Structure 1
Amino acid sequence: MNTAQRLRGILAGSAGNLLEYFDWYVYSSFTIYFAHAFFPRGNATAELLNAAAVFAVGFFMRPVGGWILGMAADRYGRRSALTISVLAMCLGSLAIAICPTYAQIGLLSPTILVCARLAQGLSLGGEYGASATYLAEVASPEHRGFWSGILYVTLIMGQLLALVLLLFMQYVLLTPTQIESWGWRIPFLVGAAGALLVFWLRRQMNESESFEKARSKDNKGGVRVLLQHWRAVATVCGLTLGGTVAFYTYTIYMQKYLANTLGFSKESATLISALSLTVFAAMQPLLGALSDRLGRKPLLLFFGFGATFGTVPLLGALSHATSAWMAFGLIVSGLLVASGYTSINAIVKAELFPTRIRALGVALPYALTVSIFGGTTEYIALWCKQAGHENWFAYYVSAAAAVTLLTVLRLKTTDRITAEMVAMSQPGEQATKDL
């Protein structure tokens, strides 16, 4: 694959990743406006809890997507799995966009919402493993960390675009009443339409050479083979646990926390979240490129120590934030620490597995961990608030980060991707690159 083909493949995969995460995060960004549409009206926290529960339910489909699409990516190709995943996301978004409200069809409304989120969860469960694997296999070794950061930029940009669209609707297009009445459907329609465009783009992608060479050898993969690499699987779970809890704390939950706990207006909470995500996105390729020079492990240690010992004082200070700028600065500080994980997590995990099970090896344990811990982060935070002990949540985040720290301290691996490529082109030679 030449440089132009490599760049086209990375950009096509990244564009799809952006659109998939836009569709996924539109739900959380607009929850404060549409929660009442799918559930009986009650107090604001109860409605948010119901919506957060559906958000969590969608996550529980992600391991199924990681398993099905991960195996498809390892057997039929990364491109095929990526194409299927974006189509499933499109169907889920369209279903939410046209779904009648609870007042119109009763319990059937939240039932349709749950089914749509299950389809989207399946899609996203397979998306991460396939896109991370594809990027790792087509990016040049000396810039792999940088492109890992770019991949995460697309994830953040998907969330950021959801917030930007909300800001545009809040300040320019519609009134709050109009957004709550019908305007919240617009972003889901936008996401469904964009997914069709990405579907076409991904059909034009070139398959990775690593996969083609591995397929020509007729190597068998699957869960049975994956279990032979149980240490790598456990490493993916350990790395993901703290990273995903920290990520969802400072991105997904912060918008609700600012509005529901600190008393900021919905518009101000959205603006603070959007600005902090913009800074967060800019951090990713910079820290990814830094890992190409220093190695992956120093950045992971920065996250591990920072999140384990810094979360409680940081969230404590945030609970006393008296201005939007103070809240913004504290959130960005948390996101900086989280970037030690997010900027390189895709490439670190892909480097743990051989080609024949790489997509499944990344997707399944990652999706399983995210579904259990990432998908419930917002729900646990809201539960702590409703129980009258909101400060407990900070200790929960710290405990999750401690698991990741212990995993990083024990982490020893080599760059399998580079080793495989060298072995294919120069039989008998070995190439390793410590994290």
Structure 2
Amino acid sequence: MALEAKRLRAIIGGSAGNLVEWYDWYAYTSLSLYFAASFFPKGDATAQLLGTSAVFAVGFFMRPIGAYVMGRYADSHGRKAGLAVSVALMCAGSLMIAFVPNYASIGLAAPIILLIARMIQGLSVGGEYGASATYLSEMATRQHRGFWSSFQYVTLIGGQLTSLAVTLILQALLTKAEMENFGWRIAFLLGAALAFGVYLLRRRLAETASFEALSKDRPASGAAALWRAHPREFVLVAIISAGGSLAFYAYTTYMQKFLANTAGFSIQTATGIMTAALVVFMLVQPLFGSLADRVGRKPMLLLFGVGGTLVSVPVFSALAIARDPVAAFGIIMIPLLLLAAYTSISALVKAELFPAHIRALGVALPYALGNALFGGTAEYVALRFKQAHVESGFYWYVAIILAMTTLCFWLLPETKRTSLISED
């Protein structure tokens, strides 16, 4: 009982930190509709959103660097040490965004500082994914690994929901002008304060048995060693991360803008629709994780891959002409429920492919590369298609990438049987 209580506390503690990390990351996209003009004052609304989306994408391209540095750090110094450093970086980035003056005050320096802050946050999130995926997977029991590892996305979505909830509260308390002037800064100040609290919490977490069992003469780590020993796993994780990340950002963060900028819903209505959809999406993660414990990982991945490929074009097409919020919510839930079959176990599948001495790096680096190339650019690509007046091209883009991802799902082993996480 004492061991199970310790395990539960560790999982809850790690998950709480993950939530705050992702709140800080998503606050940027939740509030970019309000601060876009502060940093990119010229052009129409779509042009301004392109500017903030480009900075968002650059943050993603810092994630492979963060994944490499923090992945090696977590493999060398421990999972909880990596988690503490990642949240400290997120705190610093959020503080910078909260206090950076606007374009009217300091000119070009404003978007440059914004860019630097997002680069710091990109380093943080790049390290967070590998460390938290490894930590939760190693802390979970073999029989319920899918269930417990699903809480990485419960807290990831919880962070996104928290950012949306803060946005809704600020919208209710402040006028549109006040939101554009100073209201959006409040969310980043809150994120920085929460990140500092989590930093203190993470320093007190228990270390995993997998890391503690490693001997001092462990095999070499690093990107070269990872590629030499696990090239097939590296490529497969990068590709499935690309497709999964593209689908996730297309149907979550970009969807709020799509509902406002294409379907014609107000910002408040679009935010409300996405909040309701994400609550359901978050709650079903443990259900799909538990199902993966029963039927295996591969059937769940194929459900997402095949289903996502088939529904992407019709779902976006239907949403583009949707006018009823309830109907829009129902349509959005179709791809989100399919996506849950992937998100609930995606971190676990990756962790089960690599041995303990290189697990954090093996999870983080190929994930970050695929995520940066396709997840981080999702909004930018979508808005480019819209600006070129061929918005339906983005719908087909998502479907084609998911079809390619499905082929990689076929090539994966059934990691429920072949897991390299040996501890119970």
- Name the amino acid aligned to 2:183: G
User: Contact 1:10/1:135 (CA < 8 Å) preserved in 2?
Assistant: yes
Q: How does 1:100-111 map to 2 (within 5 A)?
A: 100-111=101-112
**How far apart are the structure 2 equivalents of 1:314 and 1:243?**
17
SS of residue in 2 equivalent to 1:184: helix
Q: Does 1:117 align with 2:118?
A: yes
Counterpart position of 2:239? 238
CA shift, 1:326, in A, is: 1.0
Q: Number of paired residues? A: 421
Q: If the length of structure 2 is used for normalisation, what is the TM-score?
A: 0.97
**How far apart are the structure 1 equivalents of 2:215 and 2:93?**
32
Q: Does 1:199 align with 2:199?
A: yes
CA displacement, residues 137-162 of structure 1 (integer Å, 9 cap, x when unaligned) = 11101111011211101000100010
Counterpart position of 1:155? 156
SS of residue in 2 equivalent to 1:398: helix
Unaligned runs of 5+ residues in structure 1 are 423-435
Q: How does 1:279-318 map to 2 (within 5 A)?
A: 279-318=280-319
Q: Does 1:391 align with 2:411?
A: no
CA shift, 1:277, in A, is: 0.6
CA displacement, residues 265-294 of structure 1 (integer Å, 9 cap, x when unaligned) = 111011111111101101111100110111
CA displacement, residues 96-154 of structure 1 (integer Å, 9 cap, x when unaligned) = 00000000000000000000000000000000000000111111011110112111010
CA shift, 1:241, in A, is: 1.5
Counterpart position of 1:421? 423
CA shift, 1:309, in A, is: 1.6
- Name the amino acid aligned to 2:232: R
CA shift, 1:217, in A, is: 4.7
Q: Does 1:179 align with 2:143?
A: no
Q: Does 1:59 align with 2:60?
A: yes
Counterpart position of 1:221? 221
Unaligned runs of 5+ residues in structure 2 are none
SS of residue in 2 equivalent to 1:353: coil
SS of residue in 1 equivalent to 2:135: helix
Percent of paired sites with the same residue: 53
**How far apart are the structure 2 equivalents of 1:210 and 1:345?**
20
**How far apart are the structure 2 equivalents of 1:418 and 1:52?**
38
Q: Which moved more, 1:307-316 or 1:348-357?
A: 307-316
Counterpart position of 2:81? 80
Give the RMSD, CA atoms, in angstroms: 1.2
Counterpart position of 1:433? none
CA shift, 1:39, in A, is: 1.4
Q: Which moved more, 1:117-126 or 1:396-405?
A: 396-405
Counterpart position of 1:381? 382
**How far apart are the structure 1 equivalents of 2:289 and 2:422?**
22
User: Contact 2:297/2:415 (CA < 8 Å) preserved in 1?
Assistant: no
SS of residue in 1 equivalent to 2:323: coil
CA displacement, residues 53-86 of structure 1 (integer Å, 9 cap, x when unaligned) = 0000100000000000000011111111110000
- Name the amino acid aligned to 2:197: L
CA shift, 1:340, in A, is: 1.4
**How far apart are the structure 2 equivalents of 1:300 and 1:287?**
11
**How far apart are the structure 2 equivalents of 1:256 and 1:79?**
36
Counterpart position of 1:138? 139
Going from structure 1 to structure 2, the CA distance change for 1:223 and 1:418 (only over 3 Å counts) comes to closer
**How far apart are the structure 1 equivalents of 2:264 and 2:415?**
48
Q: Does 1:20 align with 2:18?
A: no
- Name the amino acid aligned to 1:159: Q
User: Contact 2:298/2:409 (CA < 8 Å) preserved in 1?
Assistant: yes
CA displacement, residues 317-349 of structure 1 (integer Å, 9 cap, x when unaligned) = 111212111111111111011111111101000
Counterpart position of 2:274? 273
Q: Does 1:324 align with 2:329?
A: no
- Name the amino acid aligned to 1:79: K
CA shift, 1:220, in A, is: 2.5
SS of residue in 2 equivalent to 1:89: helix
User: Contact 2:98/2:189 (CA < 8 Å) preserved in 1?
Assistant: yes
